[in-house]
Amino acid sequence: MTSSGNDPAVRRSRPAHQSQGGRRRSLPPATSAIIVFAKAPVAGQVKTRLCPPLTPDEAASLHGSLVLDILERCQSLRGYDCILAGTPSPHHPFFRAMEARFKIPVWDQIGSDLGTRMAAAFKQALGSPYRSVVVIGTDIPGINGPLLTMALGSLHDHDVVLGPTMDGGYYLIGLRTPVPELFENIPWSTGQVYALTEQKVKMLGLSLKILPELRDLDTVEDLHTCIRDSKDPQNQMFSSRTKNVLQELAKRLTNRE
């Protein structure tokens, strides 16, 4: 089944052939991959810290738009494969739709917590055919194509790449070989995640590239910041779809005051 991610034949998210001068030529398999960790946009199960003031349905709608944003950005890159790792099940209708829309494989998130799930994803992806892999989430509007390209490029001469968030977590981790120790004994969803992970990197003697710090969209304060940023026509963090979602939410929140 293509959603299992176990068959190397389904790992390629790029077309197998590319036209050139009226002829088709085979593309070499990608050696780098971006794995997007995502939850299905189920009301009451995503963005719960935004409720209230948002309703569960509004939070789910926003979450779904953010997932689309990051997949669109990954899909626009050349030379890398994109893989979607979905929970609670890769067979959820939303993930089936993403698989069909973006022509990408959907993997299961295997493990009891975020750390074991990321460790499992790296173990599955690294080695054949991928030599460098980054894992990202979907609630960081500032993640863009140049940043992802920088992260994957940095793995040519660094063992680990980390992108810290303003709340003490990280939005991206990249590896060129599995390092399960980086995901052990970490208090996930706390402000200690990044610092403890960086400490582990140093203790293991690994070289580290640190990316720019970004804000995630997790709290009501983050929501208001994103609403304000979405009104700036020069701001490219959001797709037009997500800008519309944020501005509609702003109107509804104003009416509720």
- Quote the CA–CA distance of 94 and 88 in Å, as a whole number: 11
b/e burial code for range 239-255 (CB count within 10 A of at least 16 → b): beebbebbeebbeebee
Amino acid found at 170: Y
Determine the pLDDT at residue 257: 77
How far is it, in rounded angstroms, from Cα 188 to Cα 159?
A: 22
Residue 27: predicted pLDDT: 63
- Could you say which residues of the chain have pLDDT below 70? 1-27
Please list, in sequence order, all residues whose beta carbon lies within 8 angstroms of the beta carbon of residue 91, skipping any fewer than 6 positions away.
3
pTM of this structure: 0.89
- The tokens for 253 are 């929140």
* Domain ranges, ordered by start, for the chain: 2-214
HSE (CB half, 13 Å, CA atoms) of 201? 20
What is 145-188 written as a DSSP string? HHHHHHHHHHTTT-SEEEEEBTTS-EEEEEESS--GGGGSS--T
Cβ-based neighbours of 46, under 8 Å, separated by 6 or more = 39, 40, 59, 60, 63
Confidence (pLDDT) at 14: 52
Amino acid 19: pLDDT: 45
CB atoms within 10 A of CB 1: 10
Q: Are 147 and 70 in contact (CB under 8 A)?
A: no
pLDDT at position 171, please? 98
Token pair 């590896």 is at which residue?
175
- Those residues whose C-beta lies under 8 Å from the C-beta of residue 101, and which sit 6 or more positions away, are none
Q: Which fold has domain 2-214?
A: Spore Coat Polysaccharide Biosynthesis Protein SpsA; Chain A (3.90.550)
pLDDT for 28 equals 73
Can you give the pLDDT at residue 4?
41
For 12: left if phi > 0, alpha if psi spans -120 to 50, otherwise beta; the answer is beta
